[in-house]
Amino acid sequence: MSLSPDTLPDHTGIPVIAANTDTINLLHHAMIRLLSFDDDFGTSSTRQATSTDKTCVMGLVMEASIRIVGGSPPNDSDIQGLLDQANKLLENVVPSIGIRERRLIEAASLYWKGQRHQAIDVWESLIYESELLNDVFAARMLSTAAFFTGESQNGRIAQATETMLRAWDNVPTLRVSEYRPYLLSMCAFGLVEQTHYEEAEKKVLQALVLYPSDIWAIHTWCHIMLEQGGRVQEALHMLSRTENKWKMHEGLLCHMYWHWALFHIEARMYENALKIFDKKILPAVEKSDGYLLDLVDAVSLLWRLELLNQPVDTHRWTSISMIKDRQAHPLSSFLQYSFCGAHVLVLLCHTDPRGAMEFMQCSDSHNSVVPSCATTDALLLQHQPKCVGLVLCQALYNYFCEGKFEDALAKLLSLRHCMSCIGGSRAQQDVFHQTLISSAIRLRRLNLASSLVTERYQTKQSLVNQAYIESINHLKDYCCS
């Protein structure tokens, strides 16, 4: 027997299966927490919605999607339970109702199976096929997935969100929607990843006029100032001035302090960067119980300082490792995203060389399912990040565990033009390029190192370039003396 459950419009006007407005308000609250990067990313509100409204498919699919894109492994029984429950609720519902919920389940399932680019296509189609281009949840999922797959650098975020914003300008209710500043900041980040910094900054400022505490807008502003050299003092002042506005959003707190520390590195205030690590970043990693992206930030900061020949002391690496080990996650769980896995490997190289070797074996096994020749574009998109990630991990193992800088250099050189597919932002991926420069310097291949610094300067107006140039010139002078 086919059922026709009640539907109500959400806060943008999209019909949602819901028994009452309380459910709609809870889903709205979940969306705001997700967009604001609050500590649970909105899942407490989705659970409340599904516990009080047994017809609420959207709450189930939102939680499943948030956790899947966040890196939950394919064998997570909780995720499977959420998807099964959502599908069961839709089993006898007439086809004309719950169309969006079904498509969202499809996208989440595809992403969970590793078909990430196909999932992004589904989220994009949901945006473009919505009557008013108003599917904010699909936009948020697309934005996060594009970040993790490198599609942000191919324009997937900017294109979708700019199209939405143009459509919203013609709809009075959407023009003043509570979601508008978040959509502006999503768009700004997408523009940054395409190096359109002036356009991105306009969007950031528009978002902050509407909502001064928009952490993603402030975060994107950090990216703009980092990529454009000479704005370090401006950035340090901006972060200090706005700290009370963004520090309440704990889901991105560690990352914001990471950005703050990066500006201190740019200014060669290395001790200040380490103070931020000790007082802000490490406590944030501790509070989030080793949330994967927080671990990445902590590792990345120490890694960058070491590349610049700054002592960071063993105890800091050990502190990160102790938090990671507390979760007792299998090594395979860190391989969901190659970008994250590379950082975990560097941590292991510093704290547990045997564990690093096991990680490499696990990585080899994880990638053994990759076809030797991808026969379709879809297969190539699906498996390229694994292939690039494996070679990257081999290079990092060569560098940090074995001291085989020649091998590390050769591998990193081969990857430098295809690194985007493993995910992460341009700012985050830069540590791999800095490791490439460091490899060349260690091998005294100084002309190559100089060329790589020049190449980096073309895309990143970073003051760190000068530190590498000084190291190269010092070695040239030493060799000539």
Domain chopping of the chain, boundaries: 1-147, 150-248, 250-328, 330-481
Fold for 330-481, please state it.
1.25.40
Name residue, tokens 């699919």: 61
pLDDT recorded at residue 75: 77
Fold for 150-248, please state it.
1.25.40
Same fold across 1-147 and 330-481: yes
**Residue 429 and residue 355: Cα distance in Å, rounded?**
24
The C-alpha torsion from 225 through 226 and 230 to 231, rounded to 10°, is 30
Closest CA to 131 of 177, 178, 168, 159: 168
Closest CA to 318 of 345, 357, 352: 352
pLDDT recorded at residue 331: 74
**Residue 133 and residue 128: Cα distance in Å, rounded?**
6
**Residue 159 and residue 372: Cα distance in Å, rounded?**
33
Residues contacting residue 274 through CB under 8 Å, at least 6 positions apart: 305, 312, 316
Residues contacting residue 21 through CB under 8 Å, at least 6 positions apart: 8
pLDDT recorded at residue 375: 47
**Residue 236 and residue 223: Cα distance in Å, rounded?**
13
CATH of domain 1-147: 1.25.40
pTM for the whole structure: 0.94
pLDDT recorded at residue 2: 64
pLDDT recorded at residue 336: 85
Burial 331-364 (b: 16+ CB within 10 A, else e): bbbbbbbbbbbbbbbbbbbbbbeebbeebbebbe
Q: What is the pLDDT along the chain (481 residues), one digit of tens a residue?
A: 566 889 999 999 999 999 999 999 999 999 999 999 998 999 999 999 999 999 999 999 999 999 999 988 777 889 999 999 999 999 989 999 999 999 999 999 999 999 999 999 999 999 999 999 999 999 999 999 999 999 999 999 999 999 999 999 999 999 999 999 999 999 999 999 999 999 999 999 999 999 999 999 999 999 999 998 779 999 999 999 999 999 999 999 999 999 999 999 999 999 999 999 999 999 999 999 889 999 999 999 999 999 999 999 999 999 999 999 887 677 777 888 999 999 999 999 999 999 999 999 988 766 554 444 444 555 555 567 888 999 999 999 999 999 999 999 999 999 999 999 999 999 999 999 999 999 999 999 999 999 999 999 888 888 899 999 999 998 987 776 5
pLDDT recorded at residue 378: 53
**Residue 249 and residue 404: Cα distance in Å, rounded?**
42
Going 258 to 263 to 268 to 271, the CA torsion angle's sign is: negative
Backbone angles phi, psi at 56, to 5 degrees: -80, 85
pLDDT recorded at residue 92: 87
pLDDT recorded at residue 1: 54
CA atoms within 13 A on the CB side of 12: 25
pLDDT recorded at residue 444: 97
Tokens at 299, concatenated: 């590792």
pLDDT recorded at residue 397: 98
pLDDT recorded at residue 77: 87
pLDDT recorded at residue 477: 76
CA atoms within 13 A on the CB side of 189: 28
